[in-house]
Structure 1
Amino acid sequence: MKIRVLGSSAGGGFPQWNCNCRNCDGVRRGTLKATPRTQSSIVVGANGEDWLLVNASPDILAQIAAHPELQPARRARDSGIAAVLTMDAQIDHVTGLLMLRERDTPLPLYTTDVVWQDLSSGFPVTSILSHYCGVERHRVPFDGEALTIPALAGVRIEALALSSKAPPYSPHREAPQPGDNIGLSFVDTHSGKRAFYAPGLGAIEPHVMAAMRQADLLLVDGTCWTNDEMIQLGLSGKTAADMGHLAQTGAGGMIEVLDSIDRPGVRKVLIHINNTNPILVEDGPERRVLAEHGIEVARDGMAFEL
C-alpha cells in the first residue's frame, strides 16, 4: 500500500492568499525557513498506477501536475485518479471535484449519506457535474462494515464517525449528524499494516483512540499549536476547538495523545496545518518540541509505503 501526501495545509493553503501573519509574510519574503504547502489531500494506491484521491482540494490541478503518477498517459484522455472519497463536505475538501469535470466517464465518488446530501443540496457539486462527466455514487459505511474499492486491490478501508459539524452551507449545520466527518483506516490485507487518516479531529473518543492505537502510520490533525492561536493573532474570534480541531499543546492536546501511543515503529505525522501554526517554521522551537516527542510534520509530496 502506497500513500502520497498531495497537500498538507489547512484550508487557504500556505501562504494564504490574503494573510500577512508572521508565517505567511515570512515565507513570501524568504525571511523564514518554511516551505509553501497546498490544501490537505492524499492519494492511496496499491499497484502504482491507480489511485484513490481522498479529499479533492481547490489545489488539485497543481497537485496533479506535481505528481506525474497521477497522469500516466495511457490513452488520449487519462488519469491515475480512479476514484475519489471525500471525508466531509467542507469547501476545502470538495471544490476540487469541479476541476475533474473533463473526465470522459462518470466520476466514482465515495461519501457518507449525509455528505452526499450536502453535495446535492447546500453545495450542489453533484448536480453541476451531471452537466459534465457525471457522478457514480458509492456509499461509505461507518458502522463497522469494511469498504473495498476495485482500484485498490488488497486494501481494506474502515471508516469511523468523528464528532464534528457540517459546513456552514449544510441544511443541517446546527444539527450535527454521524457521518458529517469521518476518519479512515487503510489496511493492507497482505502485510496487515494500517494507516489512520484524520485531518479534522476535534475530540479523541474511545473508538478513535482504538483506531489510532492499531495504526502503523498516523496522519492526524495538526491545524493549530494552541487552542487560542487565531484569537491571539487577531485573525478570528474562534478557538481551534470551535472549528473542530484539537490543538497540539495543552492538557489533552495532540502531543499528549500521541505520546500515549507506544506501538513500536509507529510513525506520527501531523497534517492539515494552518498557515498560522508555528510548526511550519522548520528551525523554530515548536519543531524542536515535536522532534523530542517523535512527531513529524507533513509536507507536500511526502510518501509512505506500508
Structure 2
Amino acid sequence: MRVRVLGSAAGGGFPQWNCNCPNCDGVRKGTIKASPRTQSSIAISSDNINWLLFNASPDILAQFQRFPELQPGRAIRDTAVKGIVLMDAQIDHTTGLFMLREGKVPLNIYCTGMVHEDLTQGNPIFNVLEHFCGVSWHQVPTAPGSTFEVDGITDIRITAVPLSSKAPPFSPHRHDPHEGDNIGIQLEDTRTGKKLFYAPGLAAIEPHLLPFMQQADCLMVDGTCWTNDEMRALGISEKLSLDMGHMPQSGPGGMIEALGRLPAARKILIHINNTNPILRDDSDEREILHQEKIEVAFDGMDFSL
C-alpha cells in the first residue's frame, strides 16, 4: 500500500491568507525555516495505478498538479481517482469536490449518513454537484466489525471508526453530536497485513479506538495544535484546541504522551495548524517530536507499507 500526502495543513493552509502570526509572517518573508503546506488530504493505492482520496480540500487542483499520477492521461478526459472518502463534512475537507465537477461520470463518494445529511442540507454540496457530474454516494458503515472496499482499489480493506467530535457550524445538529459526524479510518493491505490508521481530527483517544491504534504499523493522526491554548495565547481566537475537537500535542494527556504508549513503527502528525511551532524545522518543539520519534507530515510525503 502506497500513501501520498497531498496536503498536510489544517483549515486555511500555511500560510493562512489573512494571518500574520509569527509562523505565517515568517514563511512569507523567508525569515523562518519552514515550508508552505496545503490543506490536509491523502491518497492511497495498492497498484500505483488506481488511487483513493481521503478528503477533497479547497487546494485539490494544486495537489493534483503536484502529483501527476492522479492524471494518467489515457484518454481525452481521464483520472486515476476511483473514489473519495470523506472523514467529515468540514469545509476544508469537502470544498474541493466543486473543483472535480467536470467529470464525465458521477463522483464516487464514500461517507457516513451524518456527513451525507450535512452535505445535502446544511451545506448542500451534493445537491449542487447534481447540476454537473453528479454524486454516486456509498454509505460508510461504522458498526463494530463492519468493513468496506472501494471498486477499483484492490487488496485494501477499510474500517471506519466513529470519533467524538462536533459537526460543522453549518450542520443542523451542530450542538447535538451524532455517531458518524467524524471518523477515523483503518486501511489494511490484505496481501501483507500492514495497517495504517488515519485520523486527521481526533479529540480524544477513546477506548474503542485503542485496538485499531495498537494494531497499526503506521499512525497518521491529528497534529493541529501544540498546546491547548495556542490560538488564545497568540490573540487569534478564544477557542481552545479541545473546543475545536483536536487533542493538543504537549502536556498531560496530550498526543505525544498517548503516542508514546503505542507500538506503531511510524507515527506521523498531519492536519497542522498555521500557528503550531512544529511547522518550523528548527524549533524546540520539533526537536521534542524528533526525540519521541514522531514525524511531521509535509506536502508530497510518500511512503509504502
TM-score by length of 2: 0.99
Whether 1:171 and 2:172 are equivalent positions in the alignment is yes
Paired positions, count:
304
| Equivalent residue runs for 1:54-65 within 5 Å | 54-65=54-65
Structure 1, unpaired ranges of 5+: none
- Structure 2 counterpart of 1:94: 94
**TM superposition shift of 1:118:** 0.4
Shift of 1:47: 1.4
Distance 1:3 1:147 in 2: 19
1:159-213 CA-partner distances (Å, limit 9, x unpaired): 0000001000001111100000000000000000000000000011011122111
Q: CA deviation at 1:79?
A: 1.1
Q: What SS class does the counterpart of residue 137 from structure 1 fall into?
A: strand
How many Å separate the matches in 1 of 2:148 and 2:167?
23
Matched, 1:268 2:267: yes
Give the corresponding residue for 1:290: 289
Distance 2:280 2:109 in 1: 36
Cα distance in 2, alignment partners of residues 223 and 166 from structure 1: 17
Mapped to 1, the partners of 2:152 and 2:248 lie a distance apart of 35
Opposite residue 31 of structure 1, the aligned amino acid is: T
Identity of aligned residues (%): 59
2:263 & 2:44 partners in 1: Cα distance?
Answer: 25
SS at structure 1 position matched to 2:31 = coil
Inter-partner Cα distance in structure 2 for 1:285 and 1:68: 35
Displaced runs of 4 or more, over 2 A: none
1:7 correspondence with 2:7: yes
**What's the secondary structure of 1:287's corresponding residue?**
helix
Indicate the SS of the match to 2:17: coil
Deviations 1:115-134 (A, max 9, x none): 00000000001110000000
**Contiguous gaps of at least 5 residues in structure 2:** none
1:107 and 1:222 mapped to 2: Cα distance? 29
- Corresponding residue number in structure 2 for 1:26: 26
In the TM superposition, 1:136-147 aligns within 5 A as 136-143=136-143, 144-147=145-148
In 2, distance between residues paired with 1:237 and 1:281?
24
After TM superposition, list the pairs within 5 Å mapping 1:237-248 onto structure 2: 237-248=238-249
Residues 82 and 153, structure 2, Cα contact 8 Å, conserved in 1: no
**Corresponding residue of 2:46:** 46
CA distance in 2, matches of 1:131, 1:40: 27
CA shift for structure 1 position 262: 2.7
> Given the two structures, how large is their TM-score scaled by the length of structure 1?
0.98
Q: Which residue of 1 aligns with 2:35?
A: 35
Q: CA deviation at 1:152?
A: 1.2
SS in 2 for 1:288: helix
Residue type at the aligned position of 1:178: E
1:280 aligns with 2:279: yes
Does the 8 Å CA contact 2:57/2:92 hold for their aligned counterparts?
yes
Q: Aligned with 1:203: secondary structure?
A: coil
Q: Deviations over 1:218-252 (max 9, x none)?
A: 10000000000000000001000000000000111
SS in 2 for 1:53: strand
- Measured in 1, the distance between the counterparts of 2:204 and 2:286 equals 23
- Matched residue, 2:236: 235
Q: What is the identity, as a one-letter code, of the residue corresponding to 1:76? A: I
